[in-house]
A = this chain, B = another copy of it.
Amino acid sequence: MTVNLPLPQKDHLKPVKGFQMGIAEAGIKKANRKDLLVMTLAPGSQVAGVFTLNRFCAAPVQICREHLAQDGAQGEIRALVVNTGNANAGTGEQGMKDALATCAALAKELNLNPKQILPFSTGVILEPLPIAKLIDALPKAVANLGEDHWFDAAEAIMTTDTQAKATSVTVQTPAGVVTITGICKGAGMIHPNMATMLGFIATDAGFAPGLLTNLTREIADLSFNAITIDGDTSTNDSFIIMATGQSPVQIQSADDPSYGPVRVALIDLARKLAQMIVRDGEGATKFITIDVQGGKTEEECRLVAEAVAHSPLVKTAFFASDPNLGRILAAIGYAGITDLDVDQVQMWLGDVWVAKNGGRNPDYQEADGQRVMQAEEITVKIDLGRGLAQQTMWTCDLSHDYVSINADYRS
């Protein structure tokens, strides 16, 4: 079950000049299923990434970090390869060897240096990567390369997602039109041992070397780092932005008049993708926005948003359409702001002012709260009344299906 998540339309997913995708069936976990994706970039493309902080990070994540860290022509990233069905995590030395062998094999196919490849894996943890099957299928994926394969690419990286996740936009800038298209996968660590989130965004805008790195981190914090389903961060989470520079729009610095509109468009698109993961969240029946403002710092706003978004008591109350003020206020109270003056805290459920100066709003009618909580999309606005900082987070409710999905099945 998904919450207001329509299937992407193939013809709405715009090709990005200089970016190609090739899909194949490697049979890594299941037979007759697209499970291998190769992506190639035109020479001179800029690539930046943000990766999981989990100490049990997968071998491919470690190699991505190394290959992105290097500079010079040899370090120029020209291709990415993604397999589903196996996360190549908790696999030790052999896992590193397998991930490097994947890069070497694809480099040979594309006549590149292995250091120009970024490898990604998603699927079962603690099981060896079936490297032979993967390498055998690489030529098929390369032969399939094309600019209009976005939908197939989105399907190829799915694991337990109930549907493909992709979106596309064009943005007008002073220097011309820029196209941005992205795909992602993830639905919480639904499956036992499933290692989860991947996001890839490509644009034909050009970025000066290095310029994309900080922007990618900023965008991740405003999108994929601002969603939570069960609070578990996986061993393979990766988010990549690729700029081919094949459009007339060449951005030299943050002062470039085209930088603003492209930045905003990238943020919006990344947020849309991130929210798709929540809308397809395990057992989700509601899509919830936690909007915290009036904080001294963005960090303390994030603490409060996370506490509310993570609380099983709050999430079950949303599932029950129960305007349970006590649970939300209690979560604000233990979020970790040690000098929070609760008498300054205001809270709204949708358009209803429910908590006034730290207590129940005398004018609040339970029926009004009920009305808001019945909706599929709910916004909780919290004003801490101690500053100007703000943070928004997106989450879903905690339903019987969450327990069923995570307890009753085993791949």
Which of A's residues lie within 8 Å of B, judged by CB?
53-57, 89-92, 124-127, 189, 192-195, 230-235, 310-313, 316-317, 319-320, 322, 324-327, 329-334, 337-338, 340, 342-343, 355, 357-360, 398-400, 402-404, 406-408, 410
A-B contacts, 18 of them at CB < 8 A, read A53-B338, A54-B330, A56-B329, A56-B330, A56-B342, A126-B329, A193-B327, A194-B326, A231-B311, A232-B327, A312-B402, A316-B406, A316-B407, A319-B403, A319-B407, A400-B400, A400-B407, A403-B403
The 5 closest A-B pairs by CB, nearest first: A193-B326, A56-B333, A125-B326, A320-B407, A316-B406
Residues of B within 8 A of A316 (CB): 402-403, 406-407
Q: Which residue of B lies closest to A232 (CB)?
A: B313
Q: A56-B342, A89-B326, A189-B327 are in contact. List 9 more A-B contacts (CB 8 A).
A: A56-B329, A126-B329, A192-B317, A193-B324, A195-B330, A235-B326, A235-B333, A313-B406, A320-B407
Closest B residue, CB atoms, query A329: B56
B400 touches A403 (CB 8 A): yes
Residues of chain B within 8 A of A55, CB atoms compared: 332-334, 337-338, 340, 342
When distances are taken between beta carbons in the complex, the residues of chain B under 8 Å from A404 are 400
* Contact across chains for A92 and B126 when beta carbons are under 8 A apart: no
Closest-by-CB residue of B relative to A354 is B126
**What is the chain B residue whose CB lies nearest that of A230?**
B312
* Identity of the chain B residue whose Cβ is nearest the Cβ of A410 in the assembled complex: B322
Contacts of A408 in B (CB 8 A): 320
Cβ distance A247 to chain B, nearest Cβ, rounded Å: 38
The answer to whether B343 touches A92 (Cβ under 8 A) is yes
**Residue in contact with A126 in the complex, picked from B317, B322, B325, CB distance below 8 Å:** B325
Collect the chain B residues with CB atoms within 8 Å of residue A327's CB.
Answer: 189, 192-193, 232
Q: How far is the CA of A311 from the CA of B192 in the complex (A)?
A: 13
Is A312 within 8 A of B56, CB to CB?
Answer: no
Measured between alpha carbons, how far is A90 from B90 in the docked complex, in Å?
A: 46
A337: chain B residues at CB < 8 Å are 55
- From A229, which residue of chain B is reached at the shortest CB distance? B312
- Chain B residue at smallest Cβ distance from A314: B232
Contacts of A331 in B (CB 8 A): 232
Copies in the complex: 2
Residue of B nearest to A325 (CB): B126
A193 touches B325 (CB 8 A): yes
In whole angstroms, what is the CA distance A301 to B216 when docked? 33
CA distance A174 to B276 in the complex (A): 67
List of B residues within 8 angstroms of A342 by Cβ = 55-56
- Known contacts A126-B359, A232-B313: does B53 contact A334 (CB below 8 Å)? yes
| Residues of B contacting A407 in the complex (Cβ-Cβ under 8 angstroms) | 316-317, 319-320, 322, 398-400
Known: A90-B360, A189-B313, A313-B189. A330 touches B235 (CB 8 A): yes
Q: How far is the CA of A54 from the CA of B125 in the complex (A)?
A: 37
Q: How far is the CB of A217 from chain B (nearest CB, A)?
A: 17
Closest to A125 in B: B326
A302 to chain B, nearest CB (A): 15
- Chain B residues with CB under 8 A of A343: 92
How long is the Cα–Cα vector from A403 to B342 in the complex, in angstroms? 29
Complexed CA–CA distance, A192 and B369 (Å): 15
Query: Is the pair A189, B330 in contact by a Cβ cutoff of 8 Å?
Result: yes
Tell me the minimal C-beta distance from A66 to chain B in angstroms: 17
Closest B residue to A283 using CB positions: B403
Query: Contact check: which of B92, B192, B357, B399 meets A326 at CB < 8 Å?
Result: B192
A251 to chain B, nearest CB (A): 33
CA distance A233 to B54 in the complex (A): 26
Instruction: Tell me, rounded to whole Å, the shortest Cβ–Cβ distance linking A230 to chain B.
Output: 5
